[in-house]
């Protein structure tokens, strides 16, 4: 795994604590075959993926479930899922392959270096207790200039989301995700897009590309986070 700064050294005490510190495996044991956002917001998320994820890309859907929200008409070379519930992953029609893996227990991704063109994290970043280590691993499994795209909204499981996330407003959360990129090193400057549909659940996206070297690189397109 890439040399990542330990998050507890950079954030206030208790930032990554959760109300429920019991095993995540137990929490996600039962499948939840539901969507957690308004239809209009899910449509906006799919539209963003249509815009940002290249046709024919090799995609890793991180913290995946029974739906990946990728545009149905677009073909990708491969879509792999990594999630907590096998039944949900089995039901996801976009996945060519999947693995059941708890990133809070082990942030190491079970994939070779440079395996993917894009890594997605859809409305799940708030559950990561070791996000800097995970982001460093995402960089490792991306090809150079590969994209890490994080989408988030306001809905969550309050007992499993970290305390720091729940204390922040939406734009502050964009700066937090940007901090994860910065601390894990080796990314272009993150971009922040607000794609919230009128009258529906909010939708924000923060994304950056793997830089050619750990020192960084040119900025991504879009409004910069922070």
Q: Is residue 141 part of a domain?
A: yes
Model confidence at 215: pLDDT above 70: no
1 within domain boundaries? no
In a domain, 129, yes or no: yes
Residue 212 is predicted with a pLDDT of 78
- pLDDT for position 32: 58
The pLDDT, as a whole number, for residue 137 is 97
Q: Could you tell me if 104 and 83 are in contact, meaning their C-beta atoms sit under 8 angstroms apart? A: no
Distance of alpha carbon 79 from alpha carbon 52, whole angstroms: 15
Establish if 2 belongs to a structural domain.
Answer: no
Tens digit of pLDDT for each residue in 53-84? Answer: 999 999 999 999 999 999 999 999 999 999 98
Strands (E), the chain: 58-64, 78-83, 97-100, 116-122, 142-152, 191-194, 204-209, 223-224
Buried residues in 37-66 as b, exposed as e (16+ CB within 10 A): bbeebbebbbebbeebbeeebbbbbbbbbb
Q: How confident is the model at residue 101 (pLDDT cuts 50, 70, 90)?
A: very high
Local confidence band at 18 (pLDDT 50, 70, 90 cut-offs):
very high
For position 202, which CATH number holds? 3.40.50.150
Is 187 inside any structural domain? Answer: yes
In DSSP notation, 183-216 reads HH--BPPPEEEE-PPTTS---EEEEEEB-SBTTB
Q: Is the pLDDT at 197 greater than 80, yes or no?
A: yes
Helix, strand, or coil (residue 174) = helix
Domain range enclosing 154: 7-224
**How many folded domains does the chain comprise?**
1
Going by C-alpha positions, the residue among 66, 71, 122 that lies closest to residue 98 is: 66
């Amino acid at each position: 795994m890439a040399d990542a700064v330990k998050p507890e050294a950079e954030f206030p005490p208790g930032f990554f604590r959760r109300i429920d510190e019991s095993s995540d495996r137990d929490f996600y044991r039962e499948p939840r075959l539901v969507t957690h956002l308004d239809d209009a917001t899910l449509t906006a998320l799919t539209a963003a993926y249509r815009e940002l994820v290249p046709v024919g890309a090799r995609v890793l859907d991180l913290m995946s479930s029974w739906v990946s929200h990728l545009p149905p008409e677009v073909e990708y070379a491969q879509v792999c899922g990594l999630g907590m519930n096998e039944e949900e992953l089995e039901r996801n029609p976009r996945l060519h392959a999947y693995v059941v893996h708890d990133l809070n227990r082990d942030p190491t991704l079970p994939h070779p270096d440079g395996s993917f063109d894009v890594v997605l994290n859809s409305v799940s970043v708030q559950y990561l207790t070791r996000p800097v280590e995970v982001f460093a691993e995402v960089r490792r499994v991306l090809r150079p200039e590969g994209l890490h795209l994080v989408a988030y909204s306001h809905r969550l499981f309050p007992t499993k989301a970290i305390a720091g996330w729940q204390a922040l407003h939406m734009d502050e959360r964009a700066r937090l995700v940007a901090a994860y990129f910065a601390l894990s090193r080796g990314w272009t400057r993150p971009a922040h897009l607000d794609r919230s549909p009128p009258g529906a659940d909010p939708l924000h996206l923060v994304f950056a590309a793997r830089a050619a070297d750990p020192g960084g690189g040119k900025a991504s397109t879009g409004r910069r986070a922070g």
